[in-house]
Amino acid sequence: MDKNSLEDIKRAYKEYYDSLTEIDKLEEAKKAYELHPLIKEYVKLTEKLNTDKTIVSRYGEGTESEIINRIVDGIGISPKGNVYFWLQTDMNFNSYANLDSGATIQKGNFLSVPIDTVKEFEENNIVLYPPSNVDSVEYFNKMKYLYFRMALESGLDKANEFIRNLKENNEQELKR
């Protein structure tokens, strides 16, 4: 993901939460102005309220993780990096290892790697494995959320550092 994509995500994320806050304020103000003869102000507030409701409805309701995913999915991101999340080994399809690509953390692509080339693939890329007691898709979704949350709060460098730390911890865990 490049910095422009991150800025687009930040803008949309901020716009969403600013609109939620603004809707509450505008609803209260609208009630007060309905009783007041200043109809012009009432009309302006109604228009602003409708605009903010449109922004909020674009992403719907949900958890912060769901909202971030909807914002991310709605923005054209140019994937960068070589980070992959292992999901499962699929023996039904020519013994390929299904690896969720680093592009997926940013946009949603999957990659299948033949089992006989997995070791070479792991040497040339960052491949993260879920803890053994955790569903791999659930783990991926949580890491995706944490990655974007970190990018929004602290920038791409911190988000990428987070992934590197995950890789180091992952390697230690696999050696046990």
Residue type, 129: Y
Encode pLDDT of 34-67 as tens digits: 777 677 788 888 889 989 888 888 888 888 888 8
Encode pLDDT of 117-128 as tens digits: 878 888 887 777
- At 96, which helix (H) or strand (E)? strand 96-100
From CA 12, how far away is CA 7, in angstroms rounded?
9
pLDDT of the residue at 74:
74
Range of the domain at 49: 3-73
Per-residue confidence at 113, pLDDT binned at 50, 70, 90? confident
Among 9, 154, 155, 141, which residue's Cα sits nearest to residue 78? 9
How many domains does the chain fold into?
2
pLDDT of the residue at 97:
57
Judged on CB neighbours under 10 Å (0-12, 13-18, 19+), 45 is buried
Q: Do 163 and 119 reside in the same domain of the chain?
A: yes
Domain contains 49: yes
Domain contains 78: no
pLDDT of the residue at 119:
83
Neighbours of 11 (CB within 10 A): 12
| Distances 73 to 43, 60, 67, 94, 98 between C-alpha atoms, Å | 34, 13, 10, 31, 22
Whole-model pTM: value is 0.57
Encode pLDDT of 60-101 as tens digits: 888 888 888 788 777 766 556 677 777 665 544 445 555 544
Domain boundary among 73, 91, 117: 73
